[in-house]
Structure 1
């Protein structure tokens, strides 16, 4: 069974944190970065792919009509094992908008150099930096943390922004793309998706790994801590304790 790193355990994202990350990406003020951030967040949250898998995708791996006629990504997973992951329509639309913007920027800045051979469009990375370089997994982690911090720096009085900022405050310096995979597994199980399908979606080699994801998510669900707290504090009137204000 998969055991979490005792120094750096992966804590699954909550749905509130997932929504906050999506809000931060959707409202990011710099247009080209907003388009890239939207794709990163949406794909991680709705497919459960690893950061390494997301970075390894080429344009040819995006299939508008995959198995069963559904949009899909052809993932190159661990051990070079290939698998399909479904893309929902709104995420495909975000990817299409991002790619169209990138192509327009490339067309405006392209300079022909003697002897230079450009990669065929299909071989180009699906996600790239402004310079056209393939993103690295650490850049995916950095993007999530930057989005969290952008909410904390927002300084707006909107109740929506305050709620999203509160949701990510505790994870702004530690959030990791793997936390989205854990949320994917836990939310899928909670809504009746069979564990074998969840395992296929996530590209796990064995069901034991998927079971470990789910077990980590359930570890505190039945804890006795609240019961013990109620027993210990039952009937207490702390206002009479020394140093407690009665105002």
Structure 2
């Protein structure tokens, strides 16, 4: 970009503020009970009218510190603590007073009564696993808190033509720039939302992804077409810190805003497939693979820790599939419409 400088990252948001707590920020709150064994002190079960979650404060703080020590991402911290708070709310007791039978009962409650999605269910169970293993250190075998089998669904892939229609659909230049950046560079939605102006390194011809999944930095592509668009966008928006600023001063655009922009672009483009921001990341990887880029390079661009994760795109890259002749074509000439077979002489 025109006035590039060395990246200057803002300090991370305090994790202690991820969920409700007994502070003025989340008041008013109602203390429902004081429970728990003396080994870890009194546990306050609180209903926050603003946050809408139960909080077991002393235990929450201990678990929060354990997650911080292990450098878990803020989103993971929020999900784990929220899941444990919901578990405590369901039984009205401290998790330290609950055991394998209650955990099993809660798992069935999530599946049968609440009907939560697989991803939400897995997050809840992972939070309980962490709590009992790393915070409470209770002798509950990890096999007593089983994870479900993962569904091995292949992602829906947009064709290059569909992507092209999506990228030109938004009337808002900022939305066009965001969606084009996602398809051109392949970041996760959380990564593109937190891009900063210096991350567009035109001198080296790369886009920097800072603090991606696993707190890892990486480089990805900066194609000339994207750079041209971003320069036009820069002259229009004049961002000073975040490349794509949000409505709140000093904050980046939210992932929710990107989600809605993506859905609207797909709708305006007349695409009937289920589309979300990750669809552009899927398309980025699949289209590179179909163009002959090797799997290891795509792994580095996507920031996958394991090559097996990237290898799933082998199942959706359909170059080989389209070149394969169906055995139906090898039969004698058929008129399937009328039900007659023409025998060759």
Is TM more than 0.5 here? yes
Residue 293 (structure 2) pairs with residue 189 (structure 1)? no
Instruction: Give distance in 2, aligned partners of 1:9 and 1:135.
Output: 29
Q: TM-score, normalised by structure 2?
A: 0.48
Alpha-carbon distance, 1:136 to partner:
1.8
Alpha-carbon distance, 1:85 to partner:
1.1
Match of 1:118 in 2: none
Equivalences for residues 214-225 of structure 1 within 5 A: 214-218=314-318, 221=321
Match of 1:160 in 2: none
> Is the helix fraction higher in 1 or 2?
1
Alpha-carbon distance, 1:194 to partner:
1.6
Q: Deviations over 1:36-63 (max 9, x none)?
A: 1121121111111111110121223222
Instruction: Give distance in 2, aligned partners of 1:93 and 1:193.
Output: 24
Q: TM-score, normalised by structure 1?
A: 0.65
Instruction: Give distance in 2, aligned partners of 1:193 and 1:220.
Output: 15
219, 241, 245: which one pairs with 1:84? 219
Larger Rg: 2
182, 192, 200: which one pairs with 1:54? 192
Match of 1:100 in 2: 235
**Residue aligned with 1:221, SS:** helix
**Residue aligned with 1:92, SS:** helix
Alpha-carbon distance, 1:150 to partner:
2.4
Residues 20 and 81 (structure 1 numbering): CA distance in 2 closer, same or farther, change over 3 Å? same
Residue 256 (structure 2) pairs with residue 126 (structure 1)? no
Q: Deviations over 1:55-84 (max 9, x none)?
A: 121223222213xxx243344311111001
211, 215, 235: which one pairs with 2:311? 211
Unaligned runs of 5+ in 1: 29-33, 107-120, 152-164, 240-247
Match of 1:149 in 2: 267
Check whether the contact 2:185–2:207 (CA below 8 A) recurs between aligned residues.
no
Alpha-carbon distance, 1:125 to partner:
1.4
If asked which structure has higher relative contact order (CA below 8 Å, sep 6+), I would say 1
Residues 9 and 143 (structure 1 numbering): CA distance in 2 closer, same or farther, change over 3 Å? farther
Alpha-carbon distance, 1:237 to partner:
4.4
- Number of residue-to-residue matches in the alignment: 191
Match of 1:16 in 2: 161
Check whether the contact 2:159–2:283 (CA below 8 A) recurs between aligned residues.
yes
**Residue aligned with 1:72, SS:** strand
Instruction: Give distance in 2, aligned partners of 1:209 and 1:8.
Output: 13
Residues 230 and 137 (structure 1 numbering): CA distance in 2 closer, same or farther, change over 3 Å? farther
